[in-house]
Chains A and B, each alone.
Chain A
C-alpha cells in the first residue's frame, strides 16, 4: 500500500470520430487499495475511461500510468488487470471451474495450485460446489459472483468493474453491493467501479468521481460529495436537491445574500458564486429544511403545501416556496406527526451553511 498514484490519468483525451471529445483532458489519481467509483449519466465518458484503462480503447492524447509505468503500449492481455463486465461475459461453453481456471491456465500455473486458487476464489463469493455447473444453469446473481471470482482469481492488483450489477433486481443488487465491498476490504485490491446508480456509488466507494460531459466534476468521498457538492451538476446528480435561481446581492464573510427571481432574498453559503452581481443557483437538500424549527435558523420563510406524498418511513411535501413550486420537504413519519394537508401554510427554516450558492444552471 501507500502508492497514492497507483493509477494515474494524465491529461487524457479521447475521441472516437475526430469531431467530438468523449473524454476531455482527464486528470485522475487513484491510490493503491482504494475503491473508486466513476459515476455519471450515460455518455459522460466513464465507461470509455475504464476501457482505456483496460486497454480496449487507446487514448487520443495523454498518458495513463499503472504503478508508475506508462501502459498505453501494453496490450490488454499483458496488463494483468481483472475485469468484470456489464453482462458478466462468462464463457458459455465452459464450466464455472473452467471459467475460473482460464486466467490461471494461460499463465501456465500448475494444476494443483490453480485448483487451490479457484477454490479460494469461489469460497470468497460463497459458490463452492458449483465448479461443474455451466453458466447458463446459474441465476443472474450467481453468474455475477462467478464473474467477480474470475476477475480476482489470478490475484490482479487492479480490478475494473463496468456496471456489474446493472442486470440484477433491486434486492440482489443491494446484497451484492455489500458483498463486493467486503471482498474489497478483505483482500485490499484496488477497484475502479463504473456505475450510473448513485446509491450504489455512495454505499460502496472510498471516493467517487462524478463524470459529466467528458470531465470529472468532483472527486471526493461519498459524504463530502453529498454534503458539499462543488457545482450544481453534482448537487443535482447526487441525491435530491431543491434549487433557487438568483443573483448574489451582497457578500459578507462566509455568508452571502441572494436575490431570487421571485424578488425575495435568502442567506446562502458562497461556494462558487462569491462576488456581488454574480448569477447563481442555490442548492438545498430537502432534509436540511425543517417545518416550524425549534432552534433559531437564519432562513425562515412561509410556504404553501401543494401536494402530500406518503412514502412509508417518511412523507414528502411539495411546497410552493419563494416562487419555486417544486420545493420538496421530507417529514419523518414519527408518532407525533403534525397535521399536514395540502393547501396549508407552513413555516420553513434552514441554515445558510446548508444552502450552497453554486454556478448558475
Chain B
C-alpha cells in the first residue's frame, strides 16, 4: 500500500488543516497560562536562582581590591610577595578609604582569617601618611602582620569568584590555610545540632500529626453529613485564623503562669514553685507546630478515606475478618496514599517552619529557618543565609525523591 497523504475536503493535507483548526485554541491556552507562568517566574524561579547565585558568589573582595589581586597573580604564595602587590594594596585601600567603603571587606577577610579586622582598620587609618615608593616596608611598619605570609595567603585565597565555603560553614566545616576542609572548633559547631534538631522536630511533628489526624479523618469520612460538616469546620477554623494569633495563643496557654501549668499544678504533677517550662524550648515548638500543621494531615487523609467504600469493611467482616484484621488488611492499606501525602506535606512544611519556633521555641527550640532569618536580618550574611536555604531546598527535594522511590508519587492523593 502506498503511503497516501490524507486530504481534508478543502484540499489541504489533513495535518495542516488540523493544526490550523487547533491554532486558535492553542493560542487561547497559552494566553491563559501566560500570567501564571510570569507570576511563577518572577516570584519563584528568579528568587530561587538568585539565592543559588548568592550562596556561591564571592566576587566582592576581588572587585574591591582589583589592583592587589592583579598583582598577586604573579605571586607564588610561598614567601612574602614583592613590591607590586603592596603597591596595589595601597592604591586599592586608599580608594576604599576615600569612598568610605572598606567596612565591607573587613567582615569578609576576618571570616577568612581572624585578625584582619584590626589589621585593615589600623592600616586604613594611617594610609594617608604613606609616602610614595617602597610600600612593602611602610605596610610592615604600620602593622607587623603585613610581614607574615599567612595573612597574605589568606588574602590570596579569597581570589576565586565562586566559592562553596558558605556550604561548608553550614555543616560546621571550613577551609584551613592550605585549602583543606577541616571541622570548625568544637564550641562553634552549632549548625549540625540545628540541622539534626530541625529534622527531629519535623519527624516527630509528622508522627504526632499522623496519630492525631487519622482518627479525626476517619470520623470525618464516616459520620453523617450534618455532624461531619461541623467537625470539618472545627478542623478548618484554625486555617482561617492568623498563624500569628494561633502561635500567640499557645504562648498564653503554655507560659509558666498559664492555664496548662495551672492545671498541672492543680492535678499535683508539679509543685507550684517548680512549674515546668513548657515554652521557649523544644516542647513549645512541638506542641504549637503539631496543632498548626494538623489540618495539612487531616485534609489529604480525609479525601482518601472519603473514597473508600464502607462496603469494603463490611465485606471484610462478612468474609470472617475481625474488625481489627479487616482494618489492618483492608482499610489501612487503602489509606496509604493519603498518609503519604499528609506526611510529606507536614514534614516539608515543618522542616522550613519559622514563625512558630521563633516565638515559642526559645534558643533550644529554634530551627534552621530561624538561623536563616537571623543571617538575613541581623548578621546580614546573605550569602550564608542563601547557602542554608539552598541546603534546605536540596534536603526537601531529596526527601521527595526518596518518597517517590518508596511509594511512588502517583500514589499521592491530595484531594
Chain A contact residues, CB within 8 Å of chain B = 54-56, 75-83, 85-87, 89-93, 102-103, 106-107, 150-151, 154, 160
Contacts and interface: CB of A to CB of B under 8 A. Distances in A.
Given A103-B320, A106-B325, A93 B333 contact: yes
Q: Determine the main DSSP class of B at the interface with A.
A: helix
Nearest to A56: B314
A6 B326 CA distance: 28
A54 B315 contact: no
Nearest to A160: B318
Given A89-B311, A103-B319, 12 more contacts: A54-B314, A54-B318, A77-B319, A77-B322, A79-B318, A83-B315, A83-B318, A85-B311, A86-B311, A102-B321, A151-B319, A154-B319
B319 A106 contact: yes
A82 B379 CA distance: 71
B317 A76 contact: yes
Nearest to A91: B330
17 contacts: A54-B318, A56-B314, A76-B317, A77-B321, A77-B323, A82-B319, A83-B314, A83-B318, A85-B314, A85-B315, A86-B311, A89-B309, A91-B316, A102-B321, A102-B329, A103-B321, A151-B319
B122 to A, nearest CB: 74
Contacts of A90: 315
B311 A77 contact: no
Contacts of B311: 85-87, 89
A76 B318 contact: yes
B252 interface: no
Given A102-B329, A106-B325, A89 B320 contact: no
Contacts of B322: 77, 106
A102 B313 CA distance: 13
Interface residues of B, number: 19
Contacts of A154: 319-320
A76 B312 contact: no
B124 interface: no
Contacts of A160: 318
B309 A150 contact: no
A150 B334 contact: no
Interface string B294-333: 0000000000000001011011111111110110011001
A91 B316 CA distance: 9
Given A85-B311, A87-B311, A93 B318 contact: no
Interface of B: 309, 311-312, 314-323, 325-326, 329-330, 333-334
A77 B309 contact: no
B412 to A, nearest CB: 16
Contacts of B314: 54, 56, 76, 83, 85, 89
Given A89-B315, A91-B315, A106-B325, A80 B320 contact: yes
A77 to B, nearest CB: 5
Contacts of B326: 77
A150 B333 contact: no
A89 B325 CA distance: 16
A90 B316 CA distance: 9
Contact of A150 (B312, B317, B319): B319
Which among B312, B315, B326 has the greatest number of chain A C-beta atoms within 10 A? B315
B173 to A, nearest CB: 46
A83 B319 CA distance: 8
Contacts of A150: 319
Nearest to A51: B314
Given A92-B334, A93-B333, A102-B329, A77 B320 contact: yes
Contacts of A80: 320
B331 to A, nearest CB: 10
A76 to B, nearest CB: 4
A71 to B, nearest CB: 13
B315 A106 contact: no
A281 B347 CA distance: 72
Nearest to A86: B311
A56 B320 CA distance: 13
Contacts of B312: 89, 91
The 10 closest A-B pairs by CB, nearest first: A103-B319, A89-B315, A83-B318, A89-B311, A76-B317, A77-B317, A85-B311, A106-B321, A106-B320, A93-B333
B319 to A, nearest CB: 4
Contacts of B319: 77, 82-83, 102-103, 106, 150-151, 154
A87 B311 CA distance: 8
Which among B315, B319, B322, B333 has the greatest number of chain A C-beta atoms within 10 A? B319
B333 A77 contact: no
A237 B313 CA distance: 34
A93 B329 CA distance: 10
Contacts of A85: 311, 314-315
A55 B320 CA distance: 12
A56 B334 CA distance: 22
A93 B182 CA distance: 51
A41 B317 CA distance: 28
Contacts of A93: 333-334
Contacts of A92: 334
A252 to B, nearest CB: 55
Nearest to B313: A89
Contacts of A151: 318-319
Nearest to A103: B319
B123 to A, nearest CB: 73
A237 B116 CA distance: 101
Contacts of B316: 77, 91, 102
A93 B334 CA distance: 7
Contacts of A86: 311
A182 to B, nearest CB: 23
